Structures are given as C-alpha cells and as structure tokens.
C-alpha cells in the first residue's frame, strides 16, 4: 500500500517543524518541502493534501515568497496557515492589506461556519495569532469561516475546491482546538486513513541508508553531543555500523563533565566509531571580545564547520557526509538514553553567558548549572520539566558575605514547561527548591552573590535569553 503523505510548503515559519509534528501525531506521514517546489514535482509525490506554512515575510513585500501557481490546479486539498492563507488569497485574486493593528498572542475566535475545518467545535474559543496582514477581499468562491474582534476574516474556505485558510496558528498548543482543526483537515477533508507510525519511519530510514550507502562505503558525521547529530549518528550506525566515523568536536562551551559523558555514552554504550577533537582554545580565541549573540552564533557555527572539514579530510575513503535532523518527533523516538540532557542549544553555554565569553565566566556558569540540575533531580522534577538552566548576567551587584561587602556576579535561573518548545510557560517551583538552589549557588560558587528567577513565558519572551 502506498504511504499517504501530506506535503508542507515551507515559507520560513518558525513553526513549520511543528506543523509536521502535528500531522504525524495523527499517524499521517508529513514531509516539508521548499515553498518554490514546482507543481509538477509535487504531483509526482502524489500527496493527499498540501499545507502552506506561515512566514516572517509579508505578502505586501515585493519579494515575498510565492509558490508555483500550478499547485492550485492539482485538485488537492490545501490548508493555508497565517502567511499561507494570505498568499493563497492574493494568488487567487483576493486582497491582503498590511496594518499597524497587529494581532499577537491569544485572541478569541468566533466561528461563522462550523463545517469542514471547524466541524464539531464550539462557537468560540481561544487561538494564538502573530500577524500584521489582513484579508480585505476574498477570492472568488471563498467565504468567511471565522472572525475575531479585530479581524473580520480570520478563516476562509472554498469547500468545492477544498481550499481552507486560517489567520492564526492551529499547530501551537495555545490554540485550544488546534489539534482538532488539523485532524479535520487530515481525515474529513483529505481523506487520510492514519496508518503511519514513527517506528515504521525509523525502519524505513535505516533501510534507505543501507541502500544508499551500501556495505563498504564510509560515512563521516560531525557529532556535537546535541540531540540532532546524536539521533543521526544512531540511525546511521544501525544501518552501516563501523563504517560510520563520528567526529566529536569539543568547542569548550559544553556543560561540566559533558565531553567525558558524551565519549562514555557513544563509545561504551553504543559502540560508535568516535573521534574526539578538543578545539576549545580555538573557539574561545575566536569569541574573545564578542558580545552580540548573533555574532557569537555565527562564529561558533563557522568554526565548527572549519574544524569538521579539517578532521573529515583526514579520514580516508569517505563517500558520504551526514548531518542531523530537526524533526522533534524523530528526535524523541531515537534519542540516546544515558546521554546528557538533549535540550541544549547548539552554541552551548555561549548564549547563556550574556556578553563576552571567556574561561572564567564559563567556569562560573558550569558550576552554577550543575547545582541547578542537581537540585531539580533531588526534588524529583527533572523528568517533568522541559528545561532547567542558569544564565550568567553581564551585571554585578553589592552583597554582604560574613562581615565583608562583595561586588559579584548575578545569575538568573530559568525553568520552563513546554510540549514542543514553540510555546512555553515558566515553572512554579516550590519555594524550598528555589531556596536550596540559591543558597547552594551563592555559598558554593565563587563569584556569585545574587540569584534571580525568570518568570517570563514564551511568547512574548523566548526560552533562551540569547
């Protein structure tokens, strides 16, 4: 039986991966493709339906990303989300206007047509929106399906052509009936059966790797210790065994004892062919004096590629280069047990140190971070919390320790709950846990005399500070 697939045209939204996940949670396979993929290529993939993602762009921009107009002639069901709805409206003859009155965050949605996408839903519920463009004229054959207090057209539909659009984001958890909307699109509109499983995907992935690589060809992979490259390494290792050479680059920005832990897990537990390369001094030299977070990320990424290319060139007979995946559901299905906490940013501690990164500040943050995790574990909260970490701030404060006045560093603690990392809420930690953390940090970590707790949710804040 041919696998049923929903194709997601990616216009650059931060939520595109999340849309793919929501589809897969319904046991329907999803695949993300570039927004400019031709209608001819899409037809060859024989999808059951298309989803047009959101985008940071505006349809009012002259160079706004535009799909092949032929996709609207394929006879496929289409769901446009936020920008996806706007670009569909524009390309089919409607009008979209940019306005200063943005809708951002939670909004109340009022249903005008409870069929199709909104079947079996209440008359109003909360959704999550993030847009500054509005549909002012519907394309021919479309009608309004829902509205908000600020947007007369918050959802549109053309049931005959099976085209639907929503001005909000059903894929995020803040939208109360978002999962049901996606389910309605998949099963009521696209006619999917829901027989796909993640285990079948993993099995197929391993078989495809075997067919592609063969028995003798070698693969080289840059292993950072993060979840993306770890998942890729394990999948490829299951397919080709010792023909995979994983290169673990220590950039000096990892947590306390993490390099040793990564080597132990992947060499001893999973028996990977692992090369360890310590280039921590090289990374820190490049980061000297750099304070801008985006510049830090860029330097770390560039240097990682340079080091990896240098080390990969030393491995003889390599035919394939492997890289990690970004699919959250694949990650959760294959993540290595015993490895360090997977939810750790690629640039490491560099973006948890606000301002310049140096050896002294890294050592302080490592010691603070270790005590945060220890106390979260001691309180039996580690498996319940999405992320727990510390941030070293670029300020100092006056304190009193014993009879002496001090002028030391301030650290912020951050603990959040989330289902997908796209939205998050701060954790209401018991006061006694916070007290233990603060006392241990101030008493045991030299150079810190004040601890604060971050009670910001995402949005409007992000999980990380940089």
**Which residue from 341, 348, 322, 326 is spatially nearest to 253, judged by alpha carbons?**
348
Long-range contact set of residues 30-34: C-beta below 8 Å, sequence gap at least 24: 30/5, 30/6, 31/5, 31/6, 31/7, 32/7, 32/8, 33/7, 33/8, 33/9, 34/9, 34/10
pTM: 0.73
466 within domain boundaries: no
Kind of pairing between the strands at 163-166 and 155-158: antiparallel
pLDDT at 402: 80
Same domain, 20 and 168: yes
Share of the chain above pLDDT 70, in %: 94
- The yes-or-no verdict on residue 199 having pLDDT over 60 is yes
Which of residues 189, 224, 250 is at a domain's end? Answer: 189
98 within domain boundaries: yes
Cis preceding-peptide flag for 460 (omega within 30 of 0): yes
142 within domain boundaries: yes
Give the whole-angstrom CA distance, residue 450 versus residue 402: 15
pLDDT at 342: 41
- The yes-or-no verdict on residue 1 having pLDDT over 50 is no
| Residues in Cβ contact with 88 at an 8 Å cutoff, skipping those fewer than 6 apart | 52, 72, 78, 80, 139, 163, 165
pLDDT confidence bin for 326, thresholds 50/70/90: low
- The yes-or-no verdict on residue 346 having pLDDT over 80 is no
**Whole domain around residue 150: which residue ranges?**
5-189
Gyration radius from the chain CA atoms: 25
pLDDT at 322: 84
pLDDT confidence bin for 296, thresholds 50/70/90: very high
The per-residue DSSP string of 168-221 comes to S-TTSTTSTTHHHHHHIIIIIIS-------HHHHHHHHHHHHHHHHTTT-EEEE
Q: 14: number of CA atoms within 13 Å, CB side? A: 9
> What's the CATH number where 48 sits?
3.40.50.880
Same domain, 153 and 99: yes
pLDDT at 457: 86
| Cα dist from 135 to 61, 85, 113, 163, whole Å | 15, 9, 17, 15
Same domain, 142 and 269: no
> What's the CATH number where 398 sits?
3.30.300.10
Same domain, 168 and 236: no
340 within domain boundaries: no
| Residues in Cβ contact with 347 at an 8 Å cutoff, skipping those fewer than 6 apart | 253, 296, 297, 300, 301
| Residues in Cβ contact with 120 at an 8 Å cutoff, skipping those fewer than 6 apart | 114, 180, 184
Which of residues 297, 322, 347 is at a domain's end? Answer: 322
- Across residues 440-454, what is the average pLDDT? 96
242 within domain boundaries: yes
Which one is predicted more confidently, 326 or 360? 360
Same domain, 206 and 182: no
Same domain, 202 and 184: no
- The yes-or-no verdict on residue 72 having pLDDT over 90 is yes
- The yes-or-no verdict on residue 343 having pLDDT over 70 is no
19 within domain boundaries: yes
Domains held by the chain: number: 3
pLDDT confidence bin for 325, thresholds 50/70/90: low
pLDDT at 344: 62
pLDDT at 334: 45
Number of CB atoms found within 10 A of residue 294's CB: 9
For 411, the 3-state DSSP assignment is strand
pLDDT at 332: 45
Give the whole-angstrom CA distance, residue 194 versus residue 185: 12
Catalytic site positions = 82, 169, 171
Same domain, 173 and 277: no
State which H helix or E strand residue 231 sits in.
helix 227-240
Give the whole-angstrom CA distance, residue 234 versus residue 226: 12
> What's the CATH number where 289 sits?
3.40.50.620
Same domain, 97 and 169: yes
349 within domain boundaries: no
Same domain, 38 and 106: yes
- The yes-or-no verdict on residue 361 having pLDDT over 70 is yes
pLDDT at 321: 86
| Residues in Cβ contact with 441 at an 8 Å cutoff, skipping those fewer than 6 apart | 368, 371, 372, 390, 411, 448, 451
pLDDT at 372: 97
Same domain, 238 and 138: no
Which pair of structure tokens corresponds to residue 400? 């009193």
| Mean pLDDT (the chain, rounded) | 89
pLDDT confidence bin for 341, thresholds 50/70/90: very low
Same domain, 217 and 302: yes
pLDDT confidence bin for 172, thresholds 50/70/90: confident
The answer to whether 103 and 130 have CB atoms below 8 angstroms apart is yes
Which of residues 322, 345, 368 is at a domain's end? Answer: 322
Which one is predicted more confidently, 18 or 42? 42
Which one is predicted more confidently, 237 or 328? 237
For residue 410, what are the β-bridge partners? Answer: 450
Which pair of structure tokens corresponds to residue 51? 């989803």
Same domain, 175 and 218: no
Which one is predicted more confidently, 325 or 324? 324
135 within domain boundaries: yes
């Amino acid at each position: 039986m041919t696998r049923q697939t929903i194709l997601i045209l990616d216009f650059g939204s931060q939520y595109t991966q999340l849309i793919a996940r929501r589809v897969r949670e319904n046991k329907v396979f999803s695949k993300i493709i570039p927004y400019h993929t031709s209608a001819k290529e899409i037809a060859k993939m024989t999808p059951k339906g298309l989803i047009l993602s959101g985008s940071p762009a505006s349809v009012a921009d002259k160079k706004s990303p535009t799909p092949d107009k032929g996709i609207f002639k394929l006879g496929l069901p289409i769901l446009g989300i936020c920008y996806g709805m706007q670009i569909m409206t524009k390309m089919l003859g409607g009008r979209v206007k940019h306005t200063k009155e943005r809708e951002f965050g939670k909004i109340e949605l009022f249903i005008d047509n409870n069929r199709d996408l909104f079947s079996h839903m209440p008359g109003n519920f909360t959704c999550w929106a993030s847009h500054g463009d509005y549909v002012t004229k519907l394309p021919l054959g479309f009608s309004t399906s829902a509205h908000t207090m600020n947007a007369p057209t918050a959802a549109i539909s053309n049931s005959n052509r099976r085209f639907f659009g929503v001005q909000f984001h059903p894929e995020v958890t803040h939208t109360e009936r978002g999962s049901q909307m996606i389910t309605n699109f998949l099963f009521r509109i696209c006619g999917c059966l829901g027989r796909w499983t993640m285990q079948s995907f993993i099995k197929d992935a391993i078989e495809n790797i075997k067919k592609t690589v063969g028995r003798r060809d070698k693969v080289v992979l840059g292993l950072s210790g993060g979840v993306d490259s770890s998942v890729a390494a394990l999948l490829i290792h299951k397919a080709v065994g010792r023909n995979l050479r994983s290169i673990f680059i220590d950039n000096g920005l990892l947590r306390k004892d993490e390099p040793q832990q990564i080597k132990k897990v992947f060499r001893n537990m999973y028996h990977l062919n692992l090369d360890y390369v310590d280039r921590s001094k090289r990374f820190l030299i490049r980061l000297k004096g750099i304070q801008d977070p985006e510049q830090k990320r860029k330097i770390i990424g560039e240097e990682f590629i340079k080091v990896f290319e240098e080390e990969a060139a030393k491995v003889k007979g390599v035919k394939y280069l492997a890289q990690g995946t970004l699919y959250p559901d694949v990650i959760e299905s294959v993540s290595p047990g015993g490895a360090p906490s997977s939810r750790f940013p690629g640039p490491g501690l560099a973006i948890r140190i606000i301002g310049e990164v140096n050896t002294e500040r890294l050592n302080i943050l490592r010691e603070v971070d270790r005590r945060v995790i220890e106390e979260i574990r001691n309180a039996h909260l580690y498996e319940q919390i999405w992320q727990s970490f510390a941030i070293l701030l670029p300020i100092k404060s006056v304190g009193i320790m014993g009879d002496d006045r001090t002028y030391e560093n301030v650290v912020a603690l951050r603990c959040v709950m989330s289902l997908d990392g796209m939205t998050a809420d701060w954790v209401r930690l018991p006061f006694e846990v916070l007290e233990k953390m603060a006392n241990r940090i101030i008493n045991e970590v030299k150079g810190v005399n004040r601890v604060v707790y971050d009670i910001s949710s995402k949005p409007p804040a992000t999980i990380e500070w940089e």
